[in-house]
Amino acid sequence: MTDLESSITNILIALREDPAREGLINTPKRVAESLTYLTKGYHENLDAILNDAIFDSPNTDMVMLRDIEFYSLCEHHLLPFFGACNIAYFPKGKVIGVSKLARIVDMFAMRLQIQETLTLNIAEALQSTLGTPDIAVTIQAKHMCMMMRGVSKQSATMSTSSFLGTFQEHEHIRREFMLRASIDQLS
């Protein structure tokens, strides 16, 4: 039994459950495997994820990927929060393979954190990776710590943003990004 499995067994005992009960016999192992998977972002490397998928491009117009779904765990309660991330940037001679944007979101989402930190981590990673100061990241998420316990607000959605470079400096560019991010369907 791993340290994590032993810890889960101790949690079950502290909750006045019987870890030897039929339905709980393999629970410590399953929870340990689940938590290891859900926090695998700690063991991922940005360079390995990119895998040389940065390409030369003459494009200087806004590049955007919307509605990148993600799942994360809040560092305060170890309960899930989940939602969608929107990313945009202005290339400075380089563009990134589109699937790498989603992989970067996943790498940072699969760590214990708060949504504000997740948003900023994604923006800063893209800024350093692409060599452009012009990055926008927004996240809209539902938090199980708000829904299942405490205030029990089922419809509350938290929004965070990180605007760097041109997106921070120019309101009209920020508005264009926000408009694109809010479009429900592509025409």
Residues noted as catalytic:
74-77, 115, 143, 145
Q: At what angle do helices 27-38 and 3-14 cross, to 10 degrees?
A: 120
Residues comprising the chain, all counted: 187
Q: Single out the residue of 184, 108, 115 nearest to residue 144, CA to CA.
A: 115
Placement of tokens 């708000």 in the chain? 146
CA–CA dist 181, 139 (Å, integer): 10
Q: Where are the alpha helices (DSSP H) in the chain?
A: 3-14, 27-38, 46-50, 98-109, 115-130, 144-147, 166-169, 171-182
